[in-house]
A = this chain, B = another copy of it.
Amino acid sequence: MARTQKNFAPRKDELVQIALDIFLEKGYERTKISDLQKAFGLTKGGMYHYFSSKEEILDEVIDKGISEIIDSFRRELPNVPEEDRLLYLLFSESTNDFTNRLFQYASSDTGSIVSYKMRDQRIKAPLPLMTEIIKQYVETGFYTCDYPEEAAEIILLVAVNISDHTVWPIGDEKKQKNRIDNMLLIWENCVHPPQSHLDRLREIITNYYAQMTLQKDARTETEE
């Protein structure tokens, strides 16, 4: 019994990795709970020891993907120059294989429950770390901001929606530029950074979204 408890977390983590493989292969909607049970090599009762439903398995897959990327940011952050930390959190690419596969799957299955849940988690999960960074910036006088958490909320909401295209379809170059202008207006008015930081933000954000648009165009062409 003690042994079971001891192995519970690592075993569950293995199952979550297997579940992502199955979702990638069959698609989440088409995956049956019996497919997962078979892939896990567990009895029905054995599986319910770990998960109560297919949706709970999906939630655990997403949670693992998002947590791993946040954890790796948290580990890397001390090595990033202080003024770049917020940008690093928002605009650097993940190097984690599990997370990359999950992101790719979610963005290929637009309009599915997987893509909706992922978008929400991309807005919600980085919030504590981003709030911490803004609070540090306020302490050092780099930012001026009365409510760091709500500033982080709104910056994340807008940043993710500019890149996701579900709510805001991609639009032309001018539209994308106007959205970035609005995002920088919010940044400026919610946290009052120095002008040099705003200029740097504009450059990095513009390049990041331009590259994402190129990648999306390439994917769309491959699909056609």
Contacts and interface: CB of A to CB of B under 8 A. Distances in A.
Interface of A: 113, 116, 120, 123-124, 146-147, 149-151, 153-154, 157-158, 161, 166-168, 175, 178-179, 181-182, 185-186, 188-190
* Number of identical protomers: 2
A154 B150 contact: no
Nearest to A160: B167
A182 B167 CA distance: 20
Contact of A157 (B116, B157, B175): B157
B123 A167 contact: yes
Contact of A190 (B113, B123, B185): B185
A179 B186 CA distance: 12
8 contacts: A113-B113, A149-B175, A154-B179, A154-B186, A157-B161, A157-B167, A182-B190, A185-B189
